Amino acid sequence: MSKGSNLHPSAAPSLELVAKLETESVPFIAKAHIPSMFGDFRVYGFLEKQTGKEHLAIASGEIDARKRVNLRIHSECWTGEVLGSQRCDCRAQLEAALRHIAQFGGLVLYLRQEGRGIGLLNKLKAYTLQDHGLDTVEANHQLGFEDDMRSYECAVEMLRFFGISKVTLLTNNPKKLEALLARGIHVNREGHQVGQTPQNLFYLKTKASKSGHLMCFGDDEDKR
Ligand SMILES: [Zn+2]
């Protein structure tokens, strides 16, 4: 059996990988083809060295950095994406984005910053506070967090890997727009409002009224 100097070449880190790990904050590590129920994707894995988080870029079609690229920046939501939780709109947003890039080409950057960056366990605590009458922003504050702890620096680094500088961004969140614009990415915004349910309507309206999300709720008083 092989051991020691007989290790398969792929078992040892390449010189190129060692150099990337030393110089890049979010180096590309691995890539795979994933045929999925939404389309045929290439998934690129990146490592955020500072936190150890593994972020993903899901690509469909040709990514031509000379052209404007369709882009969704999506933050992980275990409750929505795995359980199909009706408390938020994350799963519907992710699925709509995957279908969109499967049809038109583009990228979904899947960032591992659960619960708007507070982590899954703290999100469970926040949900219990919300069940006792607090809204999503108040609950985060009561737990000692900002209402939104997410960062999009990783997304910018991942776009740099592909050489992308012009995007059509599927989002309702002005902070994502600002984060990309501040780092020199040219952004056109396309609204991405899907997945409204009776159970998440108050949550969505709180995101609009307190966090500035660009959403429309029909003819009621929250139209914006
Ligand atoms: Zn969610």
Output the CA 136–ligand 1 centroid distance in Å.
Answer: 11
Residue recorded with tokens 């950057």: 109
- Please report whether residue 183 resides in a domain: yes
Question: What confidence score (pLDDT) does residue 94 get?
Answer: 96
User: Annotated catalytic residue: which of 72, 87, 91, 150?
Assistant: 150
Active site includes 148?
A: yes
CB atoms within 10 A of CB 81: 17
What protein residues have CB closer than 5 angstroms to ion ligand 1? 77, 80, 88, 90
CATH number assigned to the domain comprising residue 187: 3.40.50.10990
- Please report whether residue 197 resides in a domain: yes
- Tell me how many domains the chain contains: 1
- Please report whether residue 3 resides in a domain: no
- Please report whether residue 224 resides in a domain: no
Determine the structural domain holding residue 46 and report its residue range.
Answer: 29-113+150-211
Active site includes 150?
A: yes
- Please report whether residue 75 resides in a domain: yes
| Amino acid sitting at position 16 | E
Question: What confidence score (pLDDT) does residue 47 get?
Answer: 95
- Please report whether residue 44 resides in a domain: yes
Nearest-angstrom CA–CA distance, 77 and 118: 11
Question: What confidence score (pLDDT) does residue 7 get?
Answer: 57
Q: Which of 92, 96, 115, 112 is nearest to 104 (CA)?
A: 96
Question: What confidence score (pLDDT) does residue 10 get?
Answer: 62
The Cα-based distances of 123 to 9, 42, 48, 167, 218 in angstroms read 42, 30, 22, 31, 29
Question: What confidence score (pLDDT) does residue 190 get?
Answer: 83
- Could you tell me whether strands 106-111 and 40-48 are parallel, antiparallel, or unpaired per DSSP bridges? unpaired
- Please report whether residue 19 resides in a domain: no
Residues of the chain with pLDDT under 70: 1-11, 219-224
